[in-house]
Chain A
Amino acid sequence: MRMTFMVARRLLHAFLLILAVLVLNFLLIHLAPGDPADVIAGEMGGATEEMLADIRKNYGLDKPVYVQLGLYLGRALQGDLGQSFFYNAPVLDLVAGRAGATILLVTTALLFAILVGTLLGVLASHKPKGIVSGLVTLISVIGYSAPIFWTGMMLVILFAWVYPIFPIANMYDITKGGGIFSRMIDILYHLVLPAVTLGIVYLAQYARLTRASMLEILGSDYIRTARAKGVAEIKVYGHHALRNAILPVVTIAGLQFGSIISGAVLVETVFSWPGLGTLAFDAILARDYPTILGILFFSSVLVIVANLITDFIYRLVDPRIRKEG
């Protein structure tokens, strides 16, 4: 009962956040300099009178602001995020068509960062002043200070000239035929560089975090007890210590989902990855406001969903929270 209540509360909370993002979009359209109809048309001053009249009618721009807001929210909640006059397609279709590529990139990068980061962190905690610790510090310094698009470009230069083994652009090779399986392998192959570029920043953070919490946990009483009982060292690390050390990583990874999407916008642009980031880039060049706002809305929804999932995972991993409800 308590569990259902908790889930219901979380979902309501998520829904309110989604509404708030829509209200923000609405405000942005109206705060922008110029005629809101022009903003919605996405062509500053270039839209035909007919088109503008159509928009004014559909969005009720001659009515009071609260009526406009109501109309806007009503349309958005029915999945109508407006029309892109640049692509001549509904914004929702555009965004939905590109979202898969971004979600694939972001989750791969995140999984890569969590897996490799935790592993490096554990190794580093084994020898706090050893080579791995030094390596982790070095990667985190670079990952923290280098612009992510620059790191990506350096990898492009490296893998286009010096070791041309990975593809540096696009999501798949259109000249290649074959079945679904070979297509999937091809996508994974194209995914390597963008995912590594995006993941490397977080990898170093997770490694540092794991190292710090492992060091703290390895000094605690229950680890000493485990060792005294003669539990194998690998089991002490893997089973006893890591299970607790990974909790902060899960929390941080969930909170960082928004910033990873921000990074994805840049990485996608560098590697011509056909996701929301490249769509945003093209939409900005074309001053296609409905599409840009649609992407902002959709990626915020992604973050909200990711936060929900993190919350549930956290409850799964940490039995203490599960009991408290």
Chain B
Amino acid sequence: MAAVDNNIQIVQSQSPLREAVRAFRQSWAGMLGILILTLVILFTFAGPLVYPVDPFEIVWAPLTPPGVAEQAPLGTDYLGRDILAGLVHGGSATLYVGLVAGFITITIGILVGAFAGFYRGFVDEFLMRVTEFFQVLPALLFAMVLVTLFSPTIYVIALAIGIVSWPTTARLTRAEFLRIRSLEYVNAARSIGARNQRIIWRVILPNALAPLIVAATLTIGIAILFEAGLSFLGLGDPNVFSWGLMIGAGREYILDGWWVVTLPGFMIFLTVLGFSLVGDGLNDAFNPKLRER
């Protein structure tokens, strides 16, 4: 009788979503990622309320090491601004750019990939040539050019990152569409007279979502690294305090004070790590077959 009970349990847990959630909760990478991201988000959004010091304000002598002055528990930068205040206030811009740029990347990537994979033929040929062209341009240099030509505001930066990083998503989406478009349920939808647009967005896309969600999570992490890189090169928005800006400003002073760049860099590292661990966890959840690798 015990064997029968087991069978019933298996049948009950077959909702794909519930199955995925269960698998995600079993993946240590995914759960650790969620934990890290929760801490980062708490630090970024609740931090300024608990520690309302202006990150632009000069509070102590320049380049004070951590633990010396009470006004600056984590030390000061080359102007004497409080590092802890910078860490607390610098996260929201970084997260914002990461999310917006990630969204733009995914949107362009899905549009291009979906049309290429669905219509194939000439459309595919053309769109893939464009994708290939964008992959030839070194992404960071292209983003640097865009931001330099069109003023470094937080919106231009997010848009530039999106413009340079969509090809990977496009290729992924295209591959998924090519695979799914000839499956039986797509033929079934077509046979009852569904139009192309309906088949693309309502039939194929939902079935291609699993790898795209994983890709989206990783894309946010990559976009955050991009923003950090641009800020480091002095192409961040000078009016918005961000972790990348802190590193860029402290670049010349690494040998005078390790904390100036180490701490904001560590925050970026933690955030990106959180996103990539969640991506790993989602991958495990959606691809049970790959879990052993």
Interface residues of A (CB under 8 A from B): 17, 20-21, 24, 28, 31-33, 39, 141-142, 144-150, 153-154, 156-157, 160-161, 212, 215, 255, 258-259, 261-263, 265-266, 269-270, 280-281, 284-285, 287, 289, 292-293, 295-296, 299-300, 303-304, 307
Contacts and interface: CB of A to CB of B under 8 A. Distances in A.
B229 A147 contact: yes
B234 interface: yes
Nearest to B268: A147
Interface in B107-151: 132-133, 135-142, 144-146, 148-151
A266 B226 CA distance: 11
A142 B268 CA distance: 12
A281 to B, nearest CB: 6
Nearest to B165: A259
Nearest to B272: A145
A311 to B, nearest CB: 13
Given A262-B138, A304-B136, A307-B136, A149 B149 contact: no
Contacts of B146: 28
Given A39-B149, A258-B138, A261-B138, A157 B254 contact: yes
A234 B148 CA distance: 53
Nearest to B260: A153
Contact of A141 (B255, B262, B265, B273): B273
Contact of B273 (A145, A154, A156): A145
Given A33-B150, A289-B149, A265 B141 contact: yes
B247 interface: yes
B232 interface: yes
Nearest to A269: B233
A147 B225 CA distance: 6
Query: Lowest 9 A-B CB distances belong to which pairs?
Result: A262-B140, A150-B265, A145-B273, A32-B149, A145-B272, A261-B138, A146-B269, A258-B138, A147-B228
Contacts of A145: 221, 269, 272-273, 276
B127 to A, nearest CB: 14
B144 A284 contact: yes
Nearest to A147: B228
B45 interface: no
Given A21-B136, A284-B148, A147 B141 contact: no
A293 B138 CA distance: 12
Contact of A266 (B133, B142, B229, B255): B229
Contacts, number: 137
Contact of B254 (A156, A215, A280): A156
B223 interface: no
Contacts of B247: 147, 149-150, 153
Given A157-B258, A262-B139, A284-B233, A296 B145 contact: yes
A260 to B, nearest CB: 9
B293 A259 contact: no
A266 B276 CA distance: 22
Given A147-B232, A150-B261, A17 B136 contact: yes
B151 to A, nearest CB: 8
B276 A258 contact: no
Contact residues of B: prevailing secondary structure? helix
A109 to B, nearest CB: 14
Given A28-B145, A258-B139, A292-B148, 5 more contacts: A149-B228, A156-B254, A157-B254, A265-B144, A280-B144
Nearest to A287: B148
A270 B232 CA distance: 10
Nearest to A149: B232
Nearest to B248: A149
A293 B148 CA distance: 11
- Which of B137, B244, B269 gathers most chain A CB within 10 Å? B137
Contacts of A24: 137
Nearest to A259: B139
B235 interface: yes
Which of B138, B265, B272 has the most C-beta atoms of chain A within 10 angstroms of its own C-beta?
B138
21 contacts: A21-B136, A28-B146, A39-B149, A141-B276, A146-B265, A147-B229, A147-B244, A149-B247, A157-B262, A160-B255, A161-B258, A215-B293, A261-B141, A262-B140, A265-B138, A269-B233, A284-B234, A287-B148, A292-B145, A299-B138, A299-B141
Nearest to B280: A141
B136 A303 contact: yes
Instruction: Find the residue from B144, B244, B266, B293 having the highest chain A CB count within 10 A.
Output: B144
B105 to A, nearest CB: 14
A68 B239 CA distance: 37
A28 B149 contact: yes
Contacts of A39: 149
Nearest to B152: A284
Contacts of A161: 255, 258
Given A141-B276, A284-B148, A147 B265 contact: yes
Nearest to B141: A296
A147 B221 CA distance: 10
A150 B255 CA distance: 14
